[in-house]
Amino acid sequence: MATSMQTPGVYIQELNAFPNSVVPVATAVPAFIGYTPQASYEGKSYFNKPTKVSSFAEFATIFCLPNPAPPAPPAKQYSPQYYLVKEKSQPTSGDYVQIDGNYYSVLPDPNTVYYLYNSIRLFYENGGGDCYIVSVGSYGAASGKPMSAPGQIINPNVQLDQLMNGLALLKQEEEPTMYICPEATLMNVENNGTLMQEMLLQNTELRTSISIFDIIGGRNPDPIMWDNDITTFRNNTGAKGLDFGTAYYPFVGTTIMQPSDLDYTNLFGGDIKQLEAIINPADNPNQAVATIVAGIETPANPPLTASQNNNALLNASKTYSLIIKHVLSDANMLPPSGGMAGVITTNDNQLGVWNTPANTSMVGAAELPIRISASQQAGLNVDAISGKSINAIRFFNGKGILIWGGRTLDGNSQDWRYLSVRRTMIFLEQSVKLAAAAYVFQPNDSNTWGAVKSMISSFLTTVWKEASRIKSSRCIFRSMRIGKYHESRGYSEWNHASSRKSGCSTSC
């Protein structure tokens, strides 16, 4: 009863009937660091400000160029430039197109290649939800020339210090659970390694997130010497915080960009004369193309839009259609980290953080630059020298493209080799940490310890039951798999421990 009764009357003392409970923290909140078309809203700049968005529409409102009023066409948010470089013989690497007996390499202007915008689109196409955007700058100026030869694209506009600054800003944010920097592969190997090591160190310090890495060389791998890219990656990730990192290989050819996203203004820096020399050569003229080009150079009143001229060129020239097809294929080759963030989000929402995001497809993935076999994947899963595991994205006949791995970079660790184990422990630790903060200033006695123990035990039991329930519901589909645990399907030791505790047969 109240001890400070001042006057006669009825006094009521309310007692808590139930102890505090642990509220589970969100497990799939990626933070994307990179370059955006712009970063402003209502006159306020959002450059170098971690900003939480919940949909692609919200992302577009803040970080995309505003669309002009109709009937003008929508603004182009990403406009890479490509060149067709005539070769003396058939190229042995890279994308190329054959026109009238001549070979042309399809090469981008490296200064115009960026990945974050399309990675965000891939993230939401795969079921993404809340995420943080750290825009470290807008797109830089084009160089006006193609890259020298097929291979790694190095964009000098992508600066290490800017990305490192964006990463440091996330130290003040506790909610993100994944760090993703799609444009890290547009730097040279040394700068890419420095950034990855810093990301892992920050993950280790905060213990709230993992990092999802892409691998330089995964965009255009050599069909024979592709494993050199893997070795280079392993040599540049350092030795600290490996259980907080995961990597996927190779890049994925997507359907994110559609033919309407590219036109003749994306070729030769918009120089229509250079394009005309290829699609309307003097020795094989195309009068329809000549008329369209003349209309582009000297617009009518009212002028046709770029989209209308582009459609006219597509109908008038099969060569032009072929060129756009190749350019679109190259522009759609994206690092897998953005799509993986969406896959992990869907996995967590449907099955739980304890389930491995493997043996599943990536929406929007249409092709792979290289098809890895089971024997080749063995060297990715287990490496005797570095111990750093790489998760493969593979093509299977009758199944399509599947994510075929669920490991961290710490492949030699018996405790932390599986991504689901590390992410589950982050989820448990952070949930308990936030709930226990209510007891920081409580008396250090048996009542406080009993309440804390009861609260945490109840939470862990609930998580265990939920994990067991999901595993039990899937046992019927796995009961025919008797014998040794099939590692390549991505089921973690956490999953098996949960299955055994729930009475599930060990064959699951």
Residue 5 is predicted with a pLDDT of 75
pLDDT at 62 over 60: yes
* E strand or H helix that includes residue 210: strand 210-214
13-22, 216-225, 235-244, 393-402: least confidently modelled range: 13-22
Distance CA 357, CA 340 (A): 9
- Which of 142-151, 234-243, 462-471 has the largest mean confidence? 234-243
Q: Is the pLDDT of residue 304 over 70?
A: yes
What integer is the mean pLDDT of 209-221? Answer: 96
For residue 474, name the pLDDT band (cuts at 50, 70, 90). Answer: low
Query: How far from the centroid of its chain's Cα atoms is residue 244's Cα?
Result: 16
Average pLDDT rounded to a whole number, residues 298-307: 87
Q: Are 336 and 393 in contact (CB under 8 A)?
A: yes
Q: What is the pLDDT of residue 463?
A: 93
- Give per-residue pLDDT as tens, 65-121: 999 888 788 899 999 999 999 999 998 888 999 998 899 999 999 999 999 999 999
Tell whether the torsion through CA atoms of 192, 194, 200 and 206 is positive or negative.
negative
402-412 average pLDDT score: 95
Average pLDDT over every residue of 408-436: 95
Average pLDDT over the chain, rounded to an integer: 89
3-state secondary structure of 475: helix
Q: Give residue 473's pLDDT band: very low, low, confident or very high (50, 70, 90).
A: low
pLDDT (tens digit, 9 = 90+) per residue, 325-336? 999 999 999 999
Query: Could you tell me what percent of the chain has a pLDDT over 70?
Result: 91
* Predicted local confidence at residue 468, as pLDDT: 85
pLDDT at 498: 42
Q: Which domains does the chain have, with CATH numbers?
A: 30-257+332-422 (3.40.50.11780)
- pLDDT band at 159, cuts 50/70/90? very high
What pLDDT shows up at residue 145? Answer: 95
Distance CA 362, CA 359 (A): 10
Q: At residue 485, does pLDDT exceed 70?
A: no
CA diameter of the chain: 110
Q: What is the DSSP string of 25-79?
A: PPS--EEEEEE-S--EETTEE-BT--EEESSHHHHHHHHSPPPPSTTSPPPPS--
Give the pLDDT score at 4.
72
Distances 204 to 198, 323, 501 between C-alpha atoms, Å: 10, 47, 30
Overall average pLDDT of the 290-298 stretch? 93
| Six token digits for residue 61 | 């409102």
On whether the pTM is more than 0.75, the answer is yes
Task: Look at residue 497 in the predicted model and tell me its pLDDT.
Answer: 40
Residue 506 has pLDDT above 50, yes or no: no
Query: Three-state secondary structure along 295-354?
Result: HHHCCCCCCCCHHHHHHHHHHHCHHHHHHHHHHHHHHCEECCHHHHHHHHHHHHHHCCCC
Ranked by mean pLDDT, the top range of 191-195, 284-288, 433-437 is 191-195
